């Protein structure tokens, strides 16, 4: 009898994805899995009120979300796109985010229009997550919310 693969809760999924090169916070994951956005990884099942996720399906989802392999980004620019996404995700301030945006504009000016749009969408998604995390951290630290 085959043993089914272990399913992950959303809280377990965030560090799992980070270990495999797809850094995302639990808050970012909750936001994109929520009904307002509904662009999270596929749900493999439920246990009580918790969604459960298949690790292999989530890695495939993360790879597609990163879009690097299928984005049409020339191989020389792939490293730049990856670096910009990582910088956006680890930005410590809005000034860091502003610098990333400037570099995205410079990079996308050299790419075909459809590819440029795809890269901009990726970076904007990551920046939205990061800004949301910053705002939540601020209110938690300063207002106890």
**Structure confidence by residue, pLDDT tens digits, 60-86:** 888 877 764 444 566 567 677 777 777
Question: What's the pLDDT at 144?
Answer: 63
Strands (DSSP E) found in the chain: 45-47, 50-52
User: Could you tell me the pTM of the whole model?
Assistant: 0.49
Q: What is the CA radius of gyration of the chain?
A: 17
Q: How far apart are CA 70 and CA 28, in angstroms?
A: 23
Secondary element (H or E) of residue 92: none
Question: What's the pLDDT at 1?
Answer: 44
Q: Band of the pLDDT at 8, cuts 50, 70, 90?
A: very high
Residue with the two structure tokens 């292999």: 56
For 50, phi then psi, to 5°, come to -95, 135
Q: What's the mean pLDDT in 22-34?
A: 84
Q: How far apart are CA 72 and CA 115, in angstroms?
A: 6
């Amino acid at each position: 009898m085959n043993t089914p693969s272990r399913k992950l809760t959303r809280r377990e999924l965030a560090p799992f994805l980070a270990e495999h090169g797809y850094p995302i916070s639990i808050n970012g994951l909750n936001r994109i899995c929520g009904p307002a956005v509904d662009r999270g990884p596929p749900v493999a099942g439920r246990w009580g009120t918790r969604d459960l996720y298949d690790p292999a399906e989530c890695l495939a989802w993360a790879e597609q979300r990163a879009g690097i392999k299928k984005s049409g980004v020339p191989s020389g620019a792939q490293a730049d796109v990856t670096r910009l996404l990582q910088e956006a995700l680890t930005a410590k301030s809005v000034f860091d985010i502003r610098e990333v945006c400037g570099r995205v504009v410079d990079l996308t000016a050299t790419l075909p229009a459809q590819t440029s749009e795809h890269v901009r969408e990726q970076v904007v998604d990551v920046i939205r997550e990061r800004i949301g995390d910053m705002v939540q951290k601020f209110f938690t630290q300063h207002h106890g919310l």
